Amino acid sequence: MTSILKYHNETEIQQAVDTSRQTFRSGYTRPLKFRRHQLQQLWRLVDENTDAICDALYKDLRKHKNETILGELIPTKEEINDALEHLEEWAKDEKVTPALVNKVGVTCVKRKEPKGSTLIISAWNYPIFLSFGPLIGAIAAGCTAVLKPSEVAQHSAKVITELLPRYLDSKAFLVINGAAHETTKLLENKWDHIFYTGNGTVAKIIMKAASVHLTSLTLELGGKSPAIIDENANMTVAAKRIAFGKTFNAGQTCVAPDYVLVTPKAEPKFVEAMKTAYKELYGANPQTSDSYARIVNNRHYHRLQKVLTENQSGEVVIGGQSDEKDLYIAPTVIANVDRDDKLMEDELFGPILPMIRVNDVDDAIEYVNSRDDPLALYVFSSNKKFVNKVLDSTRSGGALVNDTLMHVAEGNLPFGGTGPSGMGNYHGKHSFDAFTHERATMIKDLNPISEALMAVRYAPYTNGNLKL
Ligand code: NAD
């Protein structure tokens, strides 16, 4: 496909890096008034350009307008509202009680200082929120930022590039477009924080580049997020919620349920419930439904086709159809997949749901624990013991009981992975924290009485041994 996106050249990249650094050094972005105004401007950008943004997302992913509003624009506006409401509270010095040794004439505070000149590299699947979400954190914290949208969602990157300078201060917030080459150029520079969203392979490149300058990092990655289903769960409700999570954005969601763990006894009931759920969501032929998104490009379409054709085990019980011209892959469920099947190697990132048979909850837990820590873990059960056993015995970035995806929409919860699914958090105050350095600051007086009280620390130690 010919690119409609103009990539920046090396001179432009260097100019953006230098501008971001110089602006931060000048203190321009620190005043709360400035931060507040920029946040309001970003809110206006979204509000006044909803149609243009939805149009770009439609071109990139054939996303229905409602899905863009639900998955991208409402979360962006909510994050901005939250930051505007709490900015003063988040940014103010936090007093701490001094220890006994510092009791007299001492004030201890954590100063909330902006990390500095930051780089935000975002991914294509939610191109607006994954760019603006971290940007909100950077603005609120008082940082400058260079944003590198994903070149894969090129219409969205274009709309961001056109709109951002019209609303935000271009001395502080700049957009650079490009692919691996341009990002590598950006990464050769010294940043005060790098916020990366994307896959784990590129994350290792980012981490290596950050290590040169010992730059701090937030890594928002992915993984194979399991859904464990209690055989006594309400299958109708569980299936509808899994179907929603698996096909929102055609499954191209970092926290989409990747696979299901279910007992042989519950499997037929669950499959029937999934059939009903998909019919309710997308009708008899999802290809004709305007609510069902498409695979982002040929490369990802062929990647998914390859896993579908190379899988050695299981039985396609729902879907299985695809159409290359339309980048369409039907909502697909494959039952009784082997634990070491090709389908179980990498994050699927598409509307294909393998089901693995387990003997019981212990077997499910053991399987989950034999793999990398996922970004999300889903458990469906009304039995508290079952739920607690799963939560107590597994690890994941986040966990959600009896639904999918919705924990991400909860701004008061931190969002991030653990181990291979990521490092660091954001959303709500956590976004502010990601771009903030808590500077431990002790302020003492020069009062001779305080000085006398501290005399014991000075040599010569003539007053005998201190007792512990
Ligand atoms: P992508 O292809 O858009 O890549 C992400 C960014 O990395 C882009 O800006 C791209 O230009 C840059 N990049 C690519 N190759 C590079 C290289 N060699 N050097 C430097 N930069 C490079 O997105 P993707 O990686 O396909 O995204 C999908 C992955 O991201 C999935 O694993 C998904 O789970 C994960 N993801 C995580 C989150 C989260 O918030 N945790 C959100 C969305 C996606």
Q: What is the pLDDT of residue 455?
A: 84
> Span 82-90, mean pLDDT?
98
Active site residue 220: yes
Q: Among 220, 231, 267, 347, which one carries the catalytic annotation?
A: 220
Residue 300 CA to ligand 1 centre (angstroms): 13
Mean pLDDT lowest for which of 105-109, 247-251, 358-362?
105-109
Q: What is the pLDDT of residue 467?
A: 74
Ligand 1 pocket, residue 350 CB under 6 Å: no
On whether the CB atoms of residues 418 and 394 are closer than 8 A, the answer is no
Q: How many CB atoms lie within 10 A of CB 180?
A: 10
Of all protein residues, the one whose alpha carbon is nearest to atom 7 of ligand 1 is 198
Query: Of ligand 1's atoms, which has the minimum distance to the CA of residue 153?
Result: 3
Query: Looking at this protein, which amino acid is placed at residue 66?
Result: N
Q: What is the pLDDT of residue 249?
A: 98
Q: What is the pLDDT of residue 100?
A: 80
Alpha helix stretches (DSSP H) within 152-253: 154-167, 180-187, 200-213, 235-247
**SS3 for 258?**
strand
Ligand 1 pocket, residue 124 CB under 6 Å: yes
Q: If you compute the radius of gyration of the chain from its CA atoms, what whole number of angstroms results?
A: 25
Alpha helix stretches (DSSP H) within 248-317: 267-282, 298-310
What gap in Å lies between CA 232 and CA 117, rounded to an integer?
52
Token pair for 280 = 């309710």
Mutation test residue for ligand 1: of 147, 154, 187, 199, the one with most atoms within 8 Å of CB: 199
Confidence check: pLDDT of 465 > 90: no
Task: For residue 257, give the nearest of 286, 224, 280 by alpha carbon.
Answer: 224
Mutation test residue for ligand 1: of 195, 212, 221, 297, the one with most atoms within 8 Å of CB: 221
Query: Of ligand 1's atoms, which has the minimum distance to the CA of residue 198?
Result: 30
Q: What is the pLDDT of residue 79?
A: 98
Query: Of ligand 1's atoms, which has the minimum distance to the CA of residue 151?
Result: 11
Ligand 1 pocket, residue 373 CB under 6 Å: no
Q: What is the pLDDT of residue 9?
A: 98
Mean confidence (pLDDT) of the chain: 96
Task: For residue 123, give the nearest of 27, 45, 220, 264 by alpha carbon.
Answer: 220
How far CA 19 is from CA of 146, 168, 170, 174, 403, in Å, comes to 9, 14, 9, 9, 44
On whether the CB atoms of residues 222 and 375 are closer than 8 A, the answer is yes
Q: Among 54, 67, 72, 254, which one carries the catalytic annotation?
A: 254
Q: Which residues does 188 contact at the CB level (< 8 Å), separation at least 6?
A: 209
Confidence check: pLDDT of 2 > 70: no
Query: Of ligand 1's atoms, which has the minimum distance to the CA of residue 149?
Result: 9
Mutation test residue for ligand 1: of 135, 197, 430, the one with most atoms within 8 Å of CB: 197
How far CA 264 is from CA of 225, 230, 336, in Å, comes to 21, 11, 8
How far CA 254 is from CA of 141, 191, 202, 323, in Å, comes to 26, 26, 15, 24
Active site residue 54: no
**Prediction pTM value:** 0.97
What gap in Å lies between CA 243 and CA 332, rounded to an integer?
10
pLDDT band at residue 203 under the 50/70/90 scheme: very high
> Span 128-144, mean pLDDT?
98
Residue 122 CA to ligand 1 centre (angstroms): 6
Ligand 1 pocket, residue 72 CB under 6 Å: no
What gap in Å lies between CA 217 and CA 209, rounded to an integer?
11
354: phi then psi, degrees, rounded to nearest 5: -80, 145
Our measurement of the distance from residue 441's CA atom to the centroid of its chain's CA atoms, rounded to an integer in Å, reads: 31
Q: How many CB atoms lie within 10 A of CB 29?
A: 25
On whether the CB atoms of residues 206 and 219 are closer than 8 A, the answer is yes
Residue 345 CA to ligand 1 centre (angstroms): 18
> Span 52-77, mean pLDDT?
98
Q: Which residues does 388 contact at the CB level (< 8 Å), separation at least 6?
A: none
pLDDT band at residue 225 under the 50/70/90 scheme: very high
Of all protein residues, the one whose alpha carbon is nearest to atom 42 of ligand 1 is 254
Confidence check: pLDDT of 319 > 70: yes
Q: What is the pLDDT of residue 3?
A: 80
Q: What is the pLDDT of residue 462?
A: 73
Ligand 1 pocket, residue 375 CB under 6 Å: yes
Query: Looking at this protein, which amino acid is placed at residue 183?
Result: T
DSSP code of residue 316:
E
Contacts of 365-369 with C-beta under 8 Å, sequence gap 24+, read 365/228, 365/389, 365/390, 365/393, 365/394, 367/226, 367/261, 367/339, 368/226, 368/228, 368/261, 368/394, 369/393, 369/394, 369/395
Ligand 1 pocket, residue 198 CB under 6 Å: yes
Q: What is the pLDDT of residue 78?
A: 97
